[in-house]
């Protein structure tokens, strides 16, 4: 009887100690740290920067917002589970969102990465945004569309051609496009040359690649890994 009573008392004390420890740990996690283990990172990568510069010239009379979550400009209809849709769409965003000077969303643009943009990703955003009456385009910095093409898609044919875009202004946009294309080609050639030299200097990179794998549980995203394989700035 004595041993059973001692066991129950010990079990109760252990449970109380565990509960107190878990509460202290929870408070410690909520406590604002003195030193934040964070650093400033670029808002866009090199490919996105090229399209950003081009888009700001083409849509000169609109506002360009960067990586804005769709939950910032959409809202669930009455009678639906708002919390469900928020958690479902909270991580969905496009590279750029175009809106009018009055804050009306006009269209969204995605810039595919070096590995492209999955068809499932494109389909989800196209269906979602089209249902809300918002145009969605995927723009490759190495194959930029004509300014009239994107302005017509976002603003309509009348608005696109009725903004006073004379031959001189169109020539200016053409120069911008050609300049950006030259930058893309120069960076691509430089990267290929650098990779060739690296391959020659490192005959066996399998061990290195294996050592660079993220630990299980970490996602491959730009918070954990760099936005670019190189840290080069945009040439002007």
Interval 79-121: pLDDT, tens = 888 889 999 998 899 999 999 999 999 999 999 988 889 999 9
Backbone angles phi, psi at 135, to 5 degrees: -75, 145
**Geometric angle at alpha carbon 225, from 222 and 229, rounded to 5°:** 100
Burial 120-131 (b: 16+ CB within 10 A, else e): eeeeebbebbee
Read off the pLDDT of each residue in 139-149 and give the average, rounded to a whole number.
Answer: 90
Read off the pLDDT of each residue in 115-135 and give the average, rounded to a whole number.
Answer: 93
Distance CA 54, CA 236 (A): 13
Interval 55-84: pLDDT, tens = 999 999 999 999 999 999 999 888 888 889
Distance CA 184, CA 51 (A): 11
Interval 196-218: pLDDT, tens = 554 555 444 444 344 444 444 44
Find the DSSP H helices in 34-73: 46-58
DSSP string, 73-84: T--PPTTS-HHH
Distance CA 124, CA 118 (A): 10
Interval 151-207: pLDDT, tens = 999 998 766 665 455 454 566 566 666 666 676 677 667 666 655 554 555 444 444
Q: Which of these, 45, 177, 58, 184, lies nearest to 112 by C-alpha position?
A: 45
């Amino acid at each position: 009887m004595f041993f059973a009573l001692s066991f129950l008392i010990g079990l109760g004390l252990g449970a109380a100690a565990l509960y107190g420890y878990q509460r202290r740990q929870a408070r410690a996690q909520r406590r604002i740290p003195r030193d934040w283990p964070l650093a400033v990172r670029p808002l866009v990568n090199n490919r996105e920067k090229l399209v950003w510069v081009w888009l700001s010239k083409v849509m000169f009379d609109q506002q360009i917002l960067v990586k804005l979550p769709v939950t910032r400009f959409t809202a669930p209809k009455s009678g639906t589970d708002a919390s469900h849709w928020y958690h479902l769409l909270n991580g969905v965003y496009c590279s750029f969102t175009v809106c009018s000077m009055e804050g009306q969303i006009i269209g969204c643009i995605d810039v595919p990465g070096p590995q492209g943009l999955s068809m499932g990703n494109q389909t989800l955003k196209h269906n979602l945004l089209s249902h809300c009456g918002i145009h969605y385009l995927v723009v490759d910095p190495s194959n930029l569309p004509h300014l009239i093409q994107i302005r017509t898609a976002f603003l309509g044919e009348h608005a696109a051609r009725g903004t006073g875009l004379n031959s001189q202004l169109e020539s200016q946009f053409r120069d911008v496009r050609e300049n950006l294309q030259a930058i893309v080609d120069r960076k691509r050639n430089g990267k290929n040359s650098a990779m060739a030299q690296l391959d020659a200097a490192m005959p066996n990179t399998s061990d290195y690649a294996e050592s660079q794998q993220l630990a299980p549980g970490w996602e491959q995203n730009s918070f954990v890994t760099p936005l670019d394989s190189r840290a080069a700035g945009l040439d002007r």
